[in-house]
Amino acid sequence: MNAYNFIKDSIIQGKYQPGMRLTEEYLAQELKISRTPIREAIKQLKTEGLIIPLKKGVSVRDFTKEDIRQIYDLRTLLEGYSAAQAAASRTEEDLIKLTEANLLYEEAINQYVEGDFDQIVKIVEMNQLFHDAIINASKNQHIHFHISRVVVVPIVFRSFYWYSKEKLKRSLDYHKIILQAIESQDTERARIAMHEHIYQGRDQVLTHLEDLKNDVSYKEETK
């Protein structure tokens, strides 16, 4: 794994906590490589908005409640559009891929027992696979670029910890509704179902944001 992916994953999974200062030297030692590749990774993460520049060094971005709201508003807009376009332009092959992705998502949810970190990683991955398949079916390559930058937010990943199995199943139900709408080429149904699906995700994050910020592992490493 390269420096960029290592640092990014560490941020997303919460190993490097929001507000934590990162220096090139520190990361170089951590990965046992020189500063050069570290600097590149930092530059990229800065461009993506996952870390923010300090006077010297950078710090892991801390997303506020307002940030979450704004990001989810955007995500709703983009993914809603994406779902509508997918409904309009989907091929038979797209449908097969969407169905497959959703089956994998279902499987991952069924195998989940509360607190299993690796399985959460899997669920997040499979969820993303489904959303990516929709973007793909929408036939707009550029939208993928933007959604991926809206979605990759540490708090979103960590929010999956707080999902009950029931809530995960409801999320799966929405995937099925969206898939159905795309299959029957009902663009507005697809858009609205996606809107609702994303907003339910947002509510989940907002509800547990306080819990997240009071999380022990969170506080200990940032002070």
Element (H, E) at 59: strand 58-60
101 is a site residue for a copy of itself (CB under 8 A): no
Query: Of 180, 151, 149, which is closest to residue 86 (Cα–Cα)?
Result: 180
- Binding track over 119-158 against a copy of itself, x by CB under 8 A: ---------------------xxxx-xx--xx--------
Element (H, E) at 112: none
Residue with tokens 């809107």: 195
What is the rounded distance in angstroms from the CA atom of residue 28 to the CA atom of residue 164? 38
Give the pair of three-digit tokens for residue 163. Answer: 């999902």
What is the rounded distance in angstroms from the CA atom of residue 112 to the CA atom of residue 105? 11
67 is a site residue for a copy of itself (CB under 8 A): yes
How near is the Cβ of 36 to a copy of itself at its closest, in Å? Answer: 8
77 is a site residue for a copy of itself (CB under 8 A): yes
Return the residues of window 9-48 that contact a copy of itself according to CB under 8 A: 39-40, 43-44, 47-48
Nearer to DNA, 31 or 74 (CB): 31
Binding site for a copy of itself (CB under 8 A): 39-40, 43-44, 47-49, 67, 70-71, 73-74, 77-78, 81, 140-143, 145-146, 149-150
